Amino acid sequence: MQAKSFLRALDHDRIVAAIREAEARSRGEVRVHVTHRAVDDARRAAERQFEKLGMTKTAERNGVLVFVAPASRTFAVVGDTGIHEKCGPAFWKDVAAAMEADFRAGRYTDGILKGVVRAGDELAAHFPRAPGGVDVDELPDDVTED
């Protein structure tokens, strides 16, 4: 699938709402990025995009990126050191598996939403927002693309 048609198929409002909900329950940050380029290794490309988006600069190193490369029919979910130390590599595989069934069925928004919700649940478990506490939104919540 071409990235432009993939992007048109996404319900950006639902994705942004899910990101905001995930972040409202934690001190973490969640981003979604779609690349127009074909990639050989989605994980490596996601890690590079993670850096480009400034996601390593969060105070607690607890950002999560859902990276999708429709031209290559692949995706990856990666987290910064703070969240990765808490949940380990099995968690990222679990999130990807939850998204994959929807992607295979052409339900791209639903797949991304599952990834965002799963990431949000993990962030809330390990980086809960303090009751009545104010959290700084360190990164934009929109779906980015290149």
Gap between the Cα atoms of 18 and 15, Å rounded? 5
Q: pLDDT value at position 138?
A: 86
Positive/negative CA dihedral, 112, 97, 6, 32 = positive
Instruction: Give residue for tokens 């105070």.
Output: 59
R_g of the chain computed on alpha carbons: 14
Q: Report the pLDDT averaged over residues 50-59.
A: 94
- Structural domains in the chain, sorted by start: 3-126 (3.10.310.50)
- Per-residue pLDDT of 66-116, as tens digits, reads 999 999 999 999 999 999 999 988 999 999 999 999 999 989 999 999 999
Backbone angles phi, psi at 130, to 5 degrees: -65, 140
Average pLDDT, the chain: 91
- Closest alpha carbon to 75 in 112, 28, 117, 30: 112
Which distant-in-sequence residues (6+ apart) come within 8 Å of 3 by Cβ? 34, 35, 36, 69, 70, 71, 145
What predicted TM-score, i.e. pTM, was given to this entire model? 0.92
Residue 131's pLDDT is: 79
Backbone dihedral angles phi then psi of residue 32, each to the nearest 5 degrees? -125, 130
Q: What are phi and psi of 41, to 5 degrees?
A: -130, 105
Whether residue 133 has pLDDT greater than 70:
no
Query: What angle is formed at CA 98 by the lines to CA 77 and CA 56, rounded to 5 degrees?
Result: 15
